[in-house]
Amino acid sequence: MDPSAVGTFDLLGTDPHSKARRGRLVTAHGIIETPVFMPVGTQATVKCCSPDELKELGAQIILGNTYHLFVRPGMEVMSHFGGLHQFMAWDGPILTDSGGFQVFSLARLRKVTEEGVHFQNHVDGTPMFLGPRESMQIQATLGSDICMLFDECPPHPCSYDDAAESLDRTLRWAATCKEQPTPGLKFGIVQGSAYADLRRRSAEALVQIGFDGYAVGGVSVGEPEPEMFAAIENAEPYLPASRPRYAMGLGTPPQMLEMVARGIDMFDCVLPTRLARNGTAFTRLGTIALKNAAYTKDRGPIEEGCTCPACRTFTRGYLRHLVKAEEILGLRLITLHNLHFYLNLLGEARRRLEAGIFDGWRRQFVAEYRANRGDPTVEADV
């Protein structure tokens, strides 16, 4: 890797019929072809998966969670091991969130001040503090390739005044974050809840400060899907085309493709791993619950034609047995299938973009997926 190239984002092509983009982001641990799905490695592991398996699935970059790693094993241990890459033996790019989302959704007894948030962690109740300086220091210690700004993620619903006040603080924190040295890139996070003018103000203010990429936050927090799309549409026009865009914490397969069509390049979501642990598998015709008695004697794979390690070898009937018997191999195999499904879906999106046939394919995929079975409700990534 040429060190001077780190942070470069090449816009390789744009879709003539939508805002979809085919891009390439250079990080210190490797090149990321976009649009891209990033598996979530909350506690220094993508649940159930080894780094080798992630590589075989084609994962280009994974997420780490600042809040979780700050709480356990803690920064002394992370520093001792030389950062998250070495600790978990993943040599590809890592994006870390700021910890803000989890502090507001998971920790207890929060007190928000201008400097940051006092809270008690959810593991043993230890009082802790996280602000923009601390968050960037932690992400620097983790050796993150892409550091997210420390922001406040307002709940849904949120009054205009509360959203505006929260946004102002998040923007002051953004300026503080910008000043902190980190080895990795820094991405700003557009907030503003459901209010179009706040989303625009947030985006313009962040671009004014200047970051390596821009995320849209405060989405997938329980709002209806049209509102989620609106949050993206209200921010995107004010983000520079020359920088990558990331929609945080979503979504279902159709939602991701709709977001790609709205100009988003990067995604993370716990759905493929979380639903797998509940025995739910993704297919092109929607999700299926493998616990269902209908699969007891089913000799087919989860999805015909799928090339994942589960579908290459195992039947729905066997997977149902494993799920019913609460065997870990069942969770593992469905996790591998679901991650393959998500990673492969974005890979297909890239290939269709290169061939100039993205938009028709996207519409057909979404229609087929939604015609058959309902989407699972997107759960927030905590």
Point out which residues bind its own copies (CB under 8 A). 43-45, 47-51, 72-73, 77, 80-81, 87-89, 296-297, 299, 309, 313-315, 317-318, 321-322, 324-325, 327-333
Count of H-run helices and E-run strands, the chain? 15, 17
What are the two backbone dihedrals, phi and then psi, of residue 117, each rounded to the nearest 5 degrees?
-125, 125
Task: Note if 15 is an active site residue.
Answer: no
Q: 27 with 310: CB under 8 angstroms? A: no
Strand 21-27 to 213-216 pairing:
unpaired
Spell out the residues 6+ positions from residue 163 whose beta carbon is closer than 8 angstroms to its own: 154, 191, 192, 193, 194, 195, 198
CB of 106 to its own copies, least distance (A): 14
Which two three-digit tokens encode residue 354?
A: 């290169």
Cβ 23 to its own copies, closest distance in Å? 31
Choice between 253 and 330, CB closer to its own copies: 330
- Please identify which of the residues 97, 145, 151, 212 carries the catalytic annotation: 97
* Closer residue to its own copies (CB): 150 or 318: 318
| Cβ–Cβ under 8 Å, residues 62 and 74 | no
Identify the sign of the CA torsion 109, 112, 118, 124.
positive
- Is the bond into 73 cis (omega within 30 degrees of 0)? yes
Say which of 145, 151, 268, 359 is annotated catalytic.
268
State in angstroms the smallest separation of the CB of 184 from its own copies.
21
Longest dimension (CA), the chain: 60
Shorter beta-carbon distance to its own copies: residue 259 or 334? 334
194 versus 336: smaller Cβ distance to its own copies = 336
Q: How far is the CB of 88 from its own copies (least distance, A)?
A: 6
Token pair for residue 65?
A: 């969670």
DSSP code of residue 184:
S
Give min distance, CB of 259 to its own copies, in A.
29
Residue 298 catalytic? Answer: no
Residue number, 29 or 332, with CB nearest to its own copies: 332
Catalytic residues: 97, 268
